[in-house]
A and B are shown apart, each in its own frame.
Chain A
């Protein structure tokens, strides 16, 4: 067991990936960004209501970790969940239509931005209560271990959630029972408006597992290749029956906490600096171009294709009807045993 600072960030351009994989990561990250920008736009138009937490800036985290996942692996996260859904292959149309509260949404419009699920893609939410998904993720891993398969569960939470009591409770049980769960702390440095240093004197979240015997490491979350490499290591650890693993992924959200966040707790310059110097998408774009893995024209085509997907999702989300009034009273109870696994 060890907690290592920045060990995986050594994985830079030299990481063992093909040009095709690089292009895929570029595509997947850009899809999330454009989707989120569109969601922000629809929110501004009043088509999306309530809370809407955008993932812009953090794209490399989910895309890097999904690159380390295999079929049957599970994922569960908080309410900043649109990126996770797109990265695991959920349909942008169904996600966007859920944001607009329409019948064609993943939850038939009854869940909204914070509460979406896909049994098919093993995506277990979308949880609106900070850290509630952490013991749930351990429970999903418990189920896999109980059934005797080698799947793992990616349990995502933020630096804010890391201070919740149930995270400590879950670390203890997960290590006690050797549960195959990767705890992914997406440290975007602000829990709503409270910076990490105003919330804890123990800001190295990857070390928080030491007390329970869980290994952890810090990862550069603006480098998708570093994330992927760290993810592969964590997943190998879990699959081999050694129990949980903690990845603290240093990332940054460009937008406010939610749409109604005036973001007075940080400077415009700080955000701009991250965007200009550390943007994960721009990083891969440069790797593709300088490595001559793709031409400007090819990347322009990728942009265009994504724009079409996102516009298609937005159109679908606008055109899909609101759920019928009957839906008010459905899905409170079920008569059928759910095939949850």
Chain B
């Protein structure tokens, strides 16, 4: 049967092209792979190869013709034994064309948040307690709580292992993995060479292969070397595989400023990771949350970014003395209730938020302080319910101000609680500068409780 040769698409963006030159003429024998024409695309001049063998029956588009649409017939090929009359027949309009029919009538894309602030959008915060009332408590540092979380999960699941620089014999650069090598041995507590990109990718492969890796970065500043594996491989594979496989794993380590370690070791990556669909992002403040959230992270079937903080490692908190407890993702914690303003923070920002609330209390301002605990998923409901009550909001984070997570919260509050706001939301952040080394400048670059106090006074018009 005579077949039509169609104008080919020779680049992802080509819609039409110029038939620059015919290299075969009517009546020529053609074998598969022969160059039959040169076609100018939007990018380059391409050689157009024949796919099938046969005879070039008729040329339909003369050389030099420009604006030839992709899929328009440009010639007719004849099979063995056919003559030119078959070409005439093939020229007739083809009703059964199998060219792709574009369907422009797909469903409109869902917006991430709906622009309405009516009562049917009433926030429904989850107010269940994290642990039963009367639970015995013990005092622990964040460091110990994190270690216990890993040890408990490693005891209950043999596929969980921890790898990173200095996690085993050195007992952790910040001693978070102290004692794990002794208990679990070098099969499951693995010192890596200094090779972040490599071991992050190796961890992703191990997760694909059925294990539950905990990949420790000595600091998240070094994870920038591994960013491609975290984003392109870990976060996106579940989607790209149509749900067939993903990377159930935890990337954890200290994040944000420590003390006097300057620009390359001081960045807060909360907003960066929160930007990426496919990742879950946790940034705990207290030891109890660090423990309960890390246990959830290890059990979670998705890749989790777990952002710790070097300054918080040594702080002590009350931790439930339970054999096994977890904190769910996407559930904020109200640290103190108040009626005048909502202060939203997470991670080390919480220490500034709570300190500011104490100062404000002395001045007669009653602040509600919310710890988001996780940035992805994020508990909008608790924030929105609080803003409906206080009508004012200040966010606090250590990261840079441009495209901060506070910026995102402000947008959501504007969309969903506009009518309840009595003042613009203010985002307290680190300054828009690389972290300086000099002690005085570093102090200025960081967010402080005094700045939070000033912001609250602005939104409460005091």
Contact of B202 among A108, A135, A339 (CB under 8 A): A135
A232: B residues at CB distance < 8 A: none
Query: Does residue A74 face the partner (Cβ distance < 8 Å to B)?
Result: yes
Size category, A interface: 35 or more
Q: Interface segment, A10-18, A110-118, A288-296, A297-305?
A: A110-118
Question: Given the complex, which residues of B lie within 8 Å of A125, measured CB to CB?
Answer: 237, 240-241
Interface residues on B, range: 35 or more
Determine if A241 is an interface residue (Cβ-Cβ < 8 Å).
Answer: no
Q: Which of B225-248 contact A (CB under 8 A)?
A: 228-229, 232-233, 237-246, 248
B302 contacts A333, C-beta separation under 8 Å: yes
Q: Which of B99, B205, B232 is close to A143, meaning CB atoms less than 8 Å apart? A: B205
A157 at the interface (CB under 8 A from B): no
Q: Is the CB of A331 within 8 A of B210?
A: no
A239-265 vs B: 1/0 string, CB under 8 Å?
Answer: 000000000000000100001101110
Tell me the bound Cα distance from A332 to B71 in angstroms. 35
The smallest beta-carbon distance between B181 and chain A, in angstroms, is 16
Shortest Cβ distance from B266 into chain A, in angstroms? 25
- Residue in contact with B245 in the complex, picked from A124, A146, A166, CB distance below 8 Å: A124
Give bound CA distance, A264 to B226, whole Å.
35
Known contacts A108-B242, A176-B193, A135 near B229 by CB under 8 Å: yes
B200: which A residues are within 8 A, CB to CB? 135
CB distance from A268 to the nearest CB of B (A): 8
Contact B207 A41 (CB under 8 A): no
CA distance A259 to B70 in the complex (A): 14
Asked, given contacts A44-B10, A331-B242, whether A170 binds B100 with beta carbons under 8 Å apart, the answer is: no
Complex Cα gap A132–B228 (Å): 8
In the complex, whether B195 has a CB less than 8 A from a CB of chain A is: yes
Q: Contact partner of B12 among A49, A108, A335, CB < 8 A?
A: A49
Residues of B within 8 A of A141 (CB): 205
Question: Closest CB of chain A to B187's CB: distance in Å?
Answer: 7
A295–B45 alpha-carbon span in the complex (Å): 42
- Bitwise, B96-117 to A at CB < 8 A (1) or not (0) is 0011100100110110000000
Q: Is the CB of B98 within 8 A of A139?
A: no
Q: How far is the CB of A332 from chain B (nearest CB, A)?
A: 5
Chain B residues whose C-beta falls within 8 Å of the C-beta of A118 in the assembled complex: 244
With A135-B229, A136-B202, A136-B204: A142-B209 Cβ-Cβ less than 8 Å: yes
Convert A90-132 into 0s and 1s, putting 1 for each residue whose CB lies closer than 8 angstroms to a CB of B.
0000000000100001111111000111110000111111001
Nearest Cβ in chain A — how far from B295, in angstroms? 15
Closest to B109 in A: A328
In angstroms, how far is the closest chain B Cβ from the Cβ of A82?
16
Contact of B10 among A108, A117, A259 (CB under 8 A): A259
**Do A331 and B238 contact each other (CB < 8 Å), given the known contacts A146-B206, A166-B198?**
yes
Contact A139 B238 (CB under 8 A): no
Whether a CB of chain B sits under 8 angstroms from the CB of A178 is no
Partner of B205, one of A135, A334, A336: A135
Collect the chain B residues with CB atoms within 8 Å of residue A43's CB: 8-9
User: In the assembled complex, which residues on chain A have CB atoms less than 8 Å from the CB atom of B240?
Assistant: 107, 110-111, 115, 117, 125-126
Q: Is B11 an interface residue (CB 8 A)?
A: yes
**Which A138-178 residues have C-beta < 8 A from chain B?**
138-144, 146-147, 165-166, 169-170, 172-173, 176
Contact sample, A vs B, 21 pairs, CB 8 Å cutoff: A37-B51, A44-B9, A74-B209, A107-B241, A108-B242, A117-B241, A117-B245, A119-B244, A129-B232, A135-B205, A140-B206, A142-B211, A143-B205, A169-B198, A260-B43, A325-B106, A332-B239, A333-B278, A336-B301, A338-B238, A338-B248
| 5 A-B pairs with the lowest CB-CB distances in the bound complex, closest first | A139-B205, A341-B210, A143-B209, A135-B201, A169-B198
6 A-B pairs besides A76-B205, A117-B244 with CB distance below 8 A are: A49-B12, A117-B237, A125-B237, A136-B205, A331-B242, A338-B246
Chain B residues close to A by CB (< 8 Å): 6, 8-12, 14, 32-33, 35, 41, 43-47, 51, 70-71, 98-100, 103, 106-107, 109-110, 161, 187, 192-193, 195, 197-211, 228-229, 232-233, 237-246, 248, 277-278, 280, 301-302
Which residues of A are in contact with B by a Cβ distance under 8 Å? 37, 40-41, 43-47, 49-51, 74, 76, 100, 105-111, 115-119, 124-129, 132, 134-144, 146-147, 165-166, 169-170, 172-173, 176, 254, 259-260, 262-264, 268, 275, 318, 322, 325, 328-341
